[in-house]
Structure formats: structure tokens, C-alpha cells
Structure 1
């Protein structure tokens, strides 16, 4: 860990701004992670069935669990991190 007392002894002028900078960066990171987690929770769980997607995209014997079509790219990117039956494999 960072020993702030030793740091402020050797660099008294920049210690306050350094600590503030680290705190604000960690706070921004926390809010980004929190908002990403919330958006993952709000995302639908692949409700599309084989009849909802084009025939080219269907797989034999897979009846449901397809991603919805005509969604923004962020939807498809987030869907990569969902838990599914191939998560462990």
C-alpha cells in the first residue's frame, strides 16, 4: 500500500492533489462499473425463438435463446458476458 505519511514528508506540495486525483479516478471507475452492472441486469435474457430470427442465423435443434435482431451494438457486446449453458465449457 501507499504510505501517505512518508509520501507527504518527501513531496508536501503535491500530496493533496495526488490523493484527490486517485480518489476521483477510483470514484469514476466505481460509477462506471456500477452503471455497467445495472445495464447488464436490465438487459433481456434472449427471448427470441427460432421463428423470430432469419433462417440463415438459426441452428438445428436450437429452439430458443437467440439474441434479438435489430438491436444496437452495445446490446450484442453486453450479451457476450451473460451466463449461458456454454459458460463453463
Structure 2
């Protein structure tokens, strides 16, 4: 049974505010960039976008470092919504 990370992250954490703000964005242009052909992304584009924005807000710029955070940091795991950590090449 997977852990419920939402209970581990206080309502006052910046990651929750960021998630709420980014949830209000229109992702139409972003989704158009993803081709229907080829392999399907392991993590939906809007979730990847949230993870990248959160990482940048924390001063993390390396894709490998972002992936590592997705493996060990509860806030990133919460943003992933149950998806596995993306490959280092997203």
C-alpha cells in the first residue's frame, strides 16, 4: 500500500501553494508540444512541469539532482502523485 504523502506535508509548506497556483495554469500549449506518436511519457507533462518549477525555486537546476529529489524528498514524491521518479533525461 503506497504512503499518503499529503498527510506528511503541512498545509503551510510552499510546495502546496506552488501546486495550487500551477494547477490554475492553462497547459494547452505545453500539451501540444508532446507528440501523440512515439513513446508515452512515464509522468504526465503537467506534473513534470510542477516538479521542474519547484526544483528551480529551491535552486536545483540539474536533471539528475531533480530526479534524486524525486526519489528521496517527500515533497517531490507528493508532487509526483504516485508516479515513479522520471529518468534523468525526462
What is the TM-score of this pair, normalised by structure 2? Answer: 0.25
More strand by share: 1
Q: Give the number of the structure whose alpha-carbon radius of gyration is greater.
A: 1
